[in-house]
Structures are given as C-alpha cells and as structure tokens.
Amino acid sequence: MTTESSTETSTGDPQPTLLIDLATGLWKAQTLTAAIETGVFETLATGASSAPELAVRLGLGERPAEILLTACTALGLLDQRDGRYRNTAVADRYLVPGLPDYFGDYVRMVAQYTAPGWMRATEAVRTDAPTKPVPDPDRNMFEEGNRPKSFWDGLFAFSTLTARQMARAVDLSGVRRIMDVGGGAGATLIELCRQHPHLSGTVVDLPHVCALAQERIDAAGMTGRITTAAADFFADPLPSGHDAVLLSMIMHDWDENQNRKLLASCLDTLPSGGTVLISELLVDDDKSGPVDAALMSMNMLVGTWGRNYTGAEYAGWLRDAGCDRVRTVRFDSPGANGVVMGDKA
C-alpha cells in the first residue's frame, strides 16, 4: 500500500498514486502471465542469460524480450546484473514448472478463467449476478464442462500452500479421520496428511473432480490414507465415519441459506464432539478489510452467488447449527487467514 506521505505534495494536495496503481493492476498481472506462458522463468532456471540470448532461446524478437525482461525485473521477479538476467528467489521457488510449489497454473487460471468475469465487474455490482461466462448457465457452476480442468489444476498449489499454514496453526492432534467437503483435486487433504502422519480422510466432491483428486492422491503416495467419495453435497448425504469435517474455501461460493444447509449436513454426519472447521479469508467483523478477503469477496461477486463472510458470521452459524466451543484460529496464507471451528454438542 502506498504510504500517506508519498501521496501528498509539499502543499498537502493528494496525489493520484494509489489510483494509478489500482487502475494499472492488470498490467502487472498480464506481465506475469506473459512471462510464464513464454517460458521465461523455466528457461532462466538453467542459468542467467542476456536479453538477446534469451530472445533466441524463447523464440522471441529482441524488442519484446527486452521489454518483458525489464518489466519482470522492475516487478521483483528477475534480477539483472551486468546485462544478464536471473530468477529471483520467489521465481525460482514458485514459477519453475515441475517444482512442488509451482504457482504458474494458478496464475494462468486467473488470467484465462477468472479475468473475463472481472472485466464486467460493474455489471456484477449492478445486477447482483455472476458475470463470469460459463458454457452452460443452467447447470451447477462446478459441474464438468463449466469448470475446466485448468481451474482445479490452478487451485492445487494455492490450496497446498494454504493447507501447509493451516496444518501448522490448527491443533489436529485429536482428529483421526477428517472429511474435506468440496475438497477439489485433494490438495488440502494431501497436505494436511503430509504434515500430520496420524491423519487420514476422505475428499468429497463431484464425480469428475474426485477422479482428478484420485490421480493426485496416488501421485502423492497417499492412496492408503485418503479416499474419495463422489457426491453433490447439497443433494446427497455425506459419508460417515469421520471425527472432523473441513470446509476449505467452500462457503464463500454460496449464500447464507445454502451455507446453513451445508453446515447442518456436516453436523448430521458427525458424532457428538466432532469438529467442523471453516477455513476462509475472513472479512473483518467491522467490514473494513483486509484487502485480500475483500477482493476475494469481489471475486465471488463476479463468479458465484456467494461472498466472503466475517468470522462472527461463521461463528453465529455454527452456534445456530448446534456447535459449542466455537473459536477462531488465525494464520497467514494465500487462501485463508483463519479457521472458525466448532464442536458438535
């Protein structure tokens, strides 16, 4: 965030620095996307290169290569020394394909799948309806065909990093078997089980998503610990045999009535003392921020019928559903800043 002093002149007149930064945010996102899609970070992972050399290696003209490399350096994605460019630490960690925490699929998913709805954000605000195009608007927004495989692939690293921080912050020592409702391609449960060797569980999602999850579970060597269960969690009963239910980045997709219905289903399948965990980017109770939660809520506006809720709202729903010992554990991660938890009475 730009500091107050840098947005004022010596006479105290406000400067439009913040507005320029906001208005040109797309420029930064598309620079990152272009660098990923042309292979800049993957190529530089093998060693530093000059702009002319890299242009040849990438099959680009020298002019666009130089412009792209300069922009990536200015954004902190590359270092330049003596005319030679190399990846920064963050690029080497997250933007080189094939590495465990590769984030490029998420960046490309945002550019290709999420951005079209954002370009019509004003329409979403005026109509209170999603503006992100889907092939078949008469079907569930998450059904096969309405959410491409690139959506689930893109969320995998995002969810993995979120789960890694959640696993460190939340005490799961008393949980033996956890059900991840709307668990997507399995990233969250895979990471939780990786961090907690005593843990096992089930990913619940639509059939085509469960197929993707099974591939990831097998690749992670978790076949014996994590199973999948195909279900529409609004229409089908949830499987039993778990002592905790996780809703990770799920409830922001839906309105309050549907979320209350989902919580009731989760509690129905839990034994007394079982725990419901809601992991989300929580909006401040006074609804003044934080920025990531507020903008994710805007993302829900253009893409779903939901929004990001406050910790107090989730806590109230849990109590109304029959939970006691409701509490919130805070942490810092890409997809969540806290877990609101409650135990079935």
CA distance 36 to 194: 29
Q: In the 3-class helix/strand/coil scheme, how is the chain assigned residue by residue?
A: CCCCHHHECCCCCECCHHHHHHHCHHHHHHHHHHHHHHCHHHHHCCCCEEHHHHHHHHCCCHHHHHHHHHHHHHCCCEEEECCEEEECHHHHHHCCCCCCCCCHHHHHHHHHHHHHHHCCHHHHHHHCCCCCCCCCCCCCCCCECCECHHHHHHHHHHHHHHHHHHHHHCCCCCCCEEEEECCCCCHHHHHHHHHCCCCEEEEEECHHHHHHHHHHHHHCCCCCCEEEEECCCCCCCCCCCCCEEEEECCHHHCCHHHHHHHHHHHHHHCCCCCEEEEEECCECCCCCCCHHHHHHHHHHHHHCCCCCCEHHHHHHHHHHHCEEEEEEEECCCCCCCEEEEEEEC
Letter string b/e over residues 71-105, b meaning 16 or more CB atoms within 10 A of that residue's CB: bbeeeebbbbeeeebbbbeebeebbbeeeeebbbb
For 270, half-sphere exposure in the C-beta direction (CA atoms, 13 angstrom radius) is: 30
Chain-centre distance of CA 5, in angstroms? Answer: 33
252 is catalytic: yes
CA distance 335 to 282: 10
| Active site residue ranges | 252
